[in-house]
């Protein structure tokens, strides 16, 4: 049986498109039992709003929440904000207005970093042991990624958004553990997905405003106007890649998943319902780190700082897993010890940093 992925235009409204996508997949009751408490996991890693393409539009979450309420299923929204993990996690919920939205709609909020960590062990390629917030191991989870490019993994969507279930410094640990090996990091993401897959019942991608270029935070917004949804994360990511005008198997996690028999091996094993890929395709620019079309970059790239944007806030120092950044007037890098994870570029609140190719 083919993996089914729904694609719906948001010109009928974001919440309405979300509900339609779920109905095309068989309805919310197919994934969540009536009365069952559910964890809603958006992408809220920074205080940049959904209009930038960086974070999940809460209208997508609210659309699903309304379906859950109709069948008597309460919901909790949970996230381990990447920026907040190094400062105060609540700052992301407050800065994006998520707390107010949740309070107004009867949705409980959980800062997942503060929950008890539960160990899950798999026979992985890169990592065997993972620790997840307790509620993500006891409740069914609905994953709400945004559709974005990513300087390290080319794409961040359904599979990559589950990395946000890693608490606090665990994310940094995985970056250091994988060093600068994009292939190993992609294997780690698939190991993680395998470890938590049984809990993740549905993936609903906010592609209303997507992001191209230097994602996941410093790229350019693209008004794509779509919701993409499916039960299998790899199938969803393959359809998302095709809509971006890319060969789905040019994305590392998609390619490695096909090799490892995790999800579909290609688009011929996916049934797309709603809009066709061809009708909504919008070619999107990859990050500069991947513009040579290599799946995993194998050259070292210096990080440059744009002085007119940098405010020397120190976030880059806090989020650097390898501790190679210091600040005098501007951030300075010990490139000999840089592990090329690009967390500084990803999490800079001012989008003041970027990786450059040596030939630029």
Q: In whole angstroms, what is the distance from residue 22 CA to residue 248 CA?
A: 23
Quick: pLDDT tens for 8-36.
999 999 999 999 999 999 999 999 999 99
The string of pLDDT tens digits covering residues 252-281 is: 999 999 999 999 999 999 999 999 999 999
* Integer Cα distance of 7 and 274 in angstroms: 5
Q: Rounded to whole angstroms, how far apart are CA atoms 21 and 167? A: 30
Checking if the pLDDT of 360 tops 70, the result is no
Q: What domains can be seen in the chain, in order of their start residue?
A: 3-289 (3.40.50.11440), 303-355 (3.30.70.20)
Asked if residue 145 lies in contact with residue 206, where contact means CB atoms within 8 angstroms, the answer is yes
Interval 54-102: pLDDT, tens: 999 999 999 999 999 999 999 999 999 876 545 567 888 999 999 999 9
pLDDT at 41: 98
CA distance 65 to 107: 8
* pLDDT value of residue 309: 94
pTM of the complete model: 0.94
Average pLDDT, the chain: 94
Token couple for 325: 């950044």
Residues 6+ apart with CB under 8 A from 336: none
Provide the 8-state DSSP code for 133: E
Count, in order, helices (H) and strands (E) of the chain.
13, 17
Q: Return the closest-CA partner of residue 18 out of 142, 155, 102.
A: 142
Q: Report the Cα–Cα distance between both ends of the chain, in Å, rounded.
A: 47
């Amino acid at each position: 049986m083919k993996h089914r992925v729904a694609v719906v235009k948001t010109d009928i409204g974001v919440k309405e498109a979300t509900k339609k996508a779920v109905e095309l997949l068989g309805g919310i009751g197919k994934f969540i039992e009536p009365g069952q408490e559910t964890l809603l996991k958006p992408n809220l890693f920074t205080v940049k709003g959904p209009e930038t393409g960086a974070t999940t539009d809460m209208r997508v979450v609210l659309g699903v929440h309304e379906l859950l309420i109709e069948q008597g299923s309460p919901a909790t929204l949970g996230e381990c904000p990447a920026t907040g993990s190094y400062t105060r996690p609540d700052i992301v919920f407050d800065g994006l207005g998520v707390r107010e939205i949740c309070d107004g709609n009867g949705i409980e909020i959980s800062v997942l970093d503060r929950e008890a960590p539960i160990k899950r062990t798999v026979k992985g390629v890169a990592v065997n042991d993972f620790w997840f917030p307790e509620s993500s191991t006891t409740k069914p989870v609905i994953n709400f990624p945004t559709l974005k490019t990513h300087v390290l993994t080319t794409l961040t969507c359904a599979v990559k958004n589950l990395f946000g279930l890693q608490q606090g410094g665990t994310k940094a640990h995985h970056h250091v553990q994988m060093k600068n090996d994009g292939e190993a990091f992609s294997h780690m993401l698939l190991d993680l997905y395998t470890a938590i897959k049984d809990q993740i019942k549905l993936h609903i991608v906010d592609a209303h405003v997507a992001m191209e270029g230097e994602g996941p935070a410093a790229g350019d917004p693209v008004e794509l106007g779509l919701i993409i949804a499916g039960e299998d994360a790899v199938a969803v990511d393959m359809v998302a890649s095709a809509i971006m005008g890319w060969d789905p198997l040019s994305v590392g996690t998609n390619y490695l998943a096909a090799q490892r028999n995790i999800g579909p091996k290609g688009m011929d094993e996916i049934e797309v319902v709603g809009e066709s890929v061809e009708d909504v395709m919008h070619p999107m620019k990859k990050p500069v780190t991947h513009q040579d079309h290599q799946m995993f970059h194998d050259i070292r790239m210096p990080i440059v700082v744009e002085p007119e944007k940098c405010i020397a806030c120190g976030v880059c120092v806090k989020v650097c897993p390898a501790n190679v950044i210091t600040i005098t007037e501007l951030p300075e890098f010990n490139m000999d010890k840089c592990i090329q994870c690009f967390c500084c570029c990803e999490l800079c609140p001012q989008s003041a940093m970027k990786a450059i190719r040596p030939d630029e």
